[in-house]
């Protein structure tokens, strides 16, 4: 999956997420939260609050035990 | 647009069976990232343990074999001696490495085998639902120490790095943790250094990783991260315990 141009930054693989919230407590911009929807594994998965605010710092990727996050950046 | 952080090539697409927030998933990813960065995926052989990480061969995208409870260092010894150009590492929990496999652990270290051991210390038997491990902290409640670990009944928590540091065969021993970003990045550095040393035939290395196991600790994930930071690191201080090349 490739995010749309001008909409960079973060791809969340919702089926891989286990809703542990490690990324939520780590994001310096408080820009991630647990969503209402449930994935096939039965976990609430995370969603981004405001895509514009994400700066692709990758800290959420660093703490994710399930490699459920991918980060993109402008060249 | 360019991908800056994504699943390493050394991991498969198979989803882990670990509990939410478990340290195993993090350390699997760090190992995979290091193997990608060193460009040794095609010549790496991992040895998975018995314990929660028993399915590690499904998650890593390189050769992985599986050794019965506690015996990975013996299997690693055989593989490395027959195929010395391979990067050979074991991945073991504290029940596997420090209880049933303590003899294999100590003797492989004492022989100075040119292998790397990734040691997940979660202070408990995870897979079998929370019995005491040799690394369980004093006072810590487990299913086999329901009133807390009592030194008069069960002895003291074993500091594996410090114990192995007394052996002339060991080259590099470091203790890390994966309870926050800073510690995760340090753990990756340590794993990378260990694999680099092995590439240069510099001898036995072991990286101990303090790892959260919320369900068996009876704690929330946030409480578990704090438990690692405040309780575990008191008993098991982080840092380089031995480095003969430093
Ligand atoms: C020879 C043998 N003895 C006992 C067991 C049962 N057993 C399976 S996993 C395990 C404990 C694993 O604990 P640890 O090594 O700490 O790994 P974790 O699950 O915490 O990652 C035990 C005792 C076994 N499978 N084989
Ligand atoms: S990349 Fe950084 S800013 Fe963006 S969601 Fe992740 S942690 Fe937050
Ligand atoms: S750290 Fe990973 S698994 Fe945990 S909530 Fe965030 S995306 Fe999901
Ligand atoms: S029981 Fe503990 S070690 Fe095993 S997967 Fe769950 S959190 Fe991880």
Q: Domain coordinates of chain A in residue numbers? A: 8-73
Residue B107, both tokens: 């003797």
Whether B154 is in the pocket of ligand 1, judged by its Cβ within 6 Å, is no
- The continuous run of DSSP H or E covering B240 comes out as strand B239-243
Whether A64 is in the pocket of ligand 2, judged by its Cβ within 6 Å, is no
Mean pLDDT of A49-63: 95
> Looking at the partner chain, which of A8, A25, A65 has a beta carbon nearest the beta carbon of B222?
A25
Q: How confident is the model at residue B54 (pLDDT cuts 50, 70, 90)?
A: very high
pLDDT(B171) > 70: yes
Q: Are strands B116-121 and B87-93 parallel, antiparallel or unpaired?
A: parallel
Q: Closest-CA residue in chain B for A14?
A: B15
CB proximity A73 to B under 8 Å: yes
Mean of the per-residue pLDDT values for chain B?
Answer: 98
Phi-psi region of B63 (alpha: psi -120 to 50; beta: other; left: phi over 0): beta
**C-alpha of B235 from chain center:** 17
- For chain B, list the domains and their CATH numbers: 24-243 (3.40.50.970)
Q: What percent of chain A has pLDDT over 70?
A: 88
Q: Which fold has domain A8-73?
A: Alpha-Beta Plaits (3.30.70)
**Is the distance from CB of B101 to CB of B70 less than 8 angstroms?**
yes
Q: What is the pLDDT of residues B186-202, one digit of tens each?
A: 999 999 999 999 999 99
CB contact under 8 A, A62 and B5: yes
Distance, CA of B42 to CA of B61 (rounded, Å): 9
Whether B53 is in the pocket of ligand 1, judged by its Cβ within 6 Å, is yes
Distance, CA of B53 to CA of A38 (rounded, Å): 26
How many CB atoms are closer than 10 A to CB B25?
27
**Is the distance from CB of B73 to CB of B91 less than 8 angstroms?**
no
**Is the distance from CB of B119 to CB of B194 less than 8 angstroms?**
no
pTM of the predicted model as reported, rounded to 2 decimal places: 0.97
Residue of minimum CA distance from atom 7 in ligand 4: B213
Q: Tell me the residue ranges of DSSP E strands in B36-93.
A: 44-48, 63-66, 87-93
């Amino acid at each position: 999956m490739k995010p749309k141009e001008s909409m960079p930054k973060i791809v969340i693989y919702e089926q891989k997420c286990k809703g542990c919230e490690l990324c939520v407590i780590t994001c310096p911009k408080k820009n991630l939260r647990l969503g209402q929807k449930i994935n096939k594994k039965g976990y609430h998965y995370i969603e981004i609050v405001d895509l514009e605010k994400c700066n692709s710092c990758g800290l959420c990727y660093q703490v994710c035990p399930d490699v459920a996050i991918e980060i993109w950046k402008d060249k | 647009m360019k991908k800056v952080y994504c699943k390493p090539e050394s991991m498969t697409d198979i989803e882990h069976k670990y509990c939410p927030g478990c340290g195993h998933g993090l350390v699997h990813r760090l190992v995979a990232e290091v193997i990608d960065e060193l460009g040794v995926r095609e010549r790496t052989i991992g040895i998975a343990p018995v314990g929660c990480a028993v399915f590690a061969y499904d998650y890593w995208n390189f050769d992985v074999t599986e050794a019965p409870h506690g015996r990975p260092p013996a299997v690693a010894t055989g593989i490395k001696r027959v195929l010395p150009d391979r990067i050979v590492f074991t991945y073991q929990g504290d029940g596997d490495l420090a209880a049933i496999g303590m003899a294999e652990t100590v003797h492989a270290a004492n022989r100075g085998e040119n292998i790397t051991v990734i040691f997940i210390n979660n202070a408990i038997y995870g897979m079998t639902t929370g019995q005491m491990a040799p690394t369980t902290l004093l006072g810590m409640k487990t299913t086999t120490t329901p009133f807390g670990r009592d030194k008069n009944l069960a002895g003291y928590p074993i500091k594996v790095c410090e114990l192995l540091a007394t052996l002339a065969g060991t080259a590099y021993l470091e203790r890390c943790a994966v309870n926050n970003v800073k510690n995760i990045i340090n753990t990756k550095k340590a794993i990378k250094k260990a694999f680099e040393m092995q590439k240069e035939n510099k001898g036995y290395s072991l990286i101990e990783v303090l790892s959260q196991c919320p369900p068996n600790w009876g704690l929330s994930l946030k409480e578990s991260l704090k438990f690692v930071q405040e309780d575990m690191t008191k008993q098991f201080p982080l840092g380089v315990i031995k480095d003969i090349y430093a």
